Structure 1
Amino acid sequence: MPDASALPEDRFFVLEPGETRPTRVPLPPGFGVKVTTTDSEGRLAVLENRLDVDIPPHVHELMDEFVYVLEGEMEIDYRGTTHRLTAGMSALLPHGVPHAMRNASQPPVRALQISTPGGWDRFVEDMFEAGPTIRTPEGTLDLEKVNALGERYGMRYTRGTMALD
C-alpha cells in the first residue's frame, strides 16, 4: 500500500452544485465537466449533460461509457433494442458496441456520463473548438469531419446526423 503522505493531494477537489471543471474552450449550457481526463490521470472523465439533441449511432472503440439519469427520460438503442431510462436508472455501454441516445422528456433529460479511460471531455472540447468547420451547409454536423476529430479518442459515428447548439 502506498504511503499516504506520498499521494498527490493536488488532485483532490470539491465542486459546489452547478460548478464544473475548467475546460480548454467554453462549453455551451447543458454540458458540464465534473472530472477531466487530466484530473484523473487519464483514468476517466465525468460529464453532466443535458441531452438537447439526439446522438446518432456511434462506437467508442476504447472507452466504456456509464450513463446515470439524474432527471427526465432518455432512450438508448443497443443491439437492436430500445431501452427507456428514467430518473435513477443507469446503463453501461461497453466499448466496441454501437449505440445511440435520444431525449424522451421535456425538459430534456439530464444525465451523468462516466467514460473510462478518459478522453470524452477532450473530444467534446475538440468538437466545440472546431465550431462551424465541422458543420454541413444545413447546420448539422458533418459526421466525416467529426469522425476525423474522434479518431484519436477511438470515437466513431456510424450513421445519422446531429445538430449541435
Structure 2
Amino acid sequence: MSSQVTPSAKYDVTIGKLGARLNTSRTENEANVAIVEHTLPPHTLAAPLHRHSREDEISYVLDGEMTVLADDELTTVPAHESVVKGREVWHTFWNAGDEPLRFLEIIAPGEFSEFFEEISRLYPLDPADEEALARFAEICERYDFEADLESVPKLCQEHDLHV
C-alpha cells in the first residue's frame, strides 16, 4: 500500500430522516471499501425496498436495534451484531424500537457510498416533482440501484413506521 494518503470528500447529510456521514472513503484504501455511519430515529423506515447489483452492505449496529427485511424474511439485529445485505437481494430496514438507531454500513466495493450525498440534494423528494424523480432515477441507474418507491406506504402501514 502506498504511504501517500489520498484525500477524501467527506459528507454529513440527511436523506429524509436517515443520517449519513462518510467515515471512510473508498479512495482511502486499496480495497475500495467505504464506511458510512447512519442514524435513524425510532419507528422510522430508512428506505423503500431496494437492491444493489454491484455491492454488498454489511451493517454493524452500534446503538439501538435494526429490523431488516430481505427476501421476505424479517431479522432483528441488536447492538454489537451485524447483518449482510448482499447484492441482488431485495431488502430494506428500519428502526422499530423506541431508541435511536446508529450503525456502520460497510460497503464493498465502495462506490455506492457516494449515492447518499448525491440523493440528499433531492430531498425531500416530492412525488409530484417529475424533474426531481427523473434525477433520482438517473442517479439510481448510474449506481445500478433499483428502488420500489411504491413499497413505502405498505411497509409503513404493516410495521407502524414513519418515513
State whether TM-score is above 0.5: yes
Higher strand share: 2
* Unmatched tracts of structure 2, length 5 or more: 154-161
Residue aligned with 2:27, SS: coil
Larger Rg: 1
Percent sequence identity is: 25
Q: Where does residue 94 of structure 1 map in the other structure?
A: 86
CA distance in 2, matches of 1:77, 1:51: 16
Query: What SS class does the counterpart of residue 77 from structure 1 fall into?
Result: strand
Q: 1:120 is paired with a residue of what secondary structure?
A: helix
One-letter amino acid matched to 1:99: H
CA 1:108–1:39 in structure 2 vs 1: closer, same or farther (change >3 Å)?
A: same
Aligned pairs, how many? 146
- Counterpart-to-counterpart distance in 1, 2:5 and 2:104: 21
| 1:1-165 pair list within 5 angstroms | 7-11=1-5, 22-23=9-10, 27-28=13-14, 30-40=19-29, 43-52=32-41, 53-54=44-45, 55-131=47-123, 134-137=125-128, 145-159=135-149, 160-161=151-152
TM-superposed deviation, 1:143: 6.4
State the 1:157 CA deviation.
0.6
Change in Cα spacing, 1:93 to 1:79, as seen in structure 2 (3 Å) is: same
155-164 or 88-97: which moved more? 155-164
Counterpart code for 2:102: R
The one-letter code of the counterpart of 1:27 is: V
Query: 2:127·2:133 contact (CA, 8 Å) conserved in 1?
Result: no
CA RMSD of aligned residues (A): 2.9
Residue deviations 1:22-49 (CA, integer Å, cap 9, x gap) = 43x6524832111112223571211010
Normalized against structure 1, the TM-score is what? 0.74
Alpha-carbon distance in 1 for matches of 2:127, 2:103 = 28
1:88 maps to a residue whose letter is H
CA contact under 8 A between 1:143 and 1:157: conserved in structure 2?
no
CA–CA distance in 2 between the matches of 1:103 and 1:46?
20
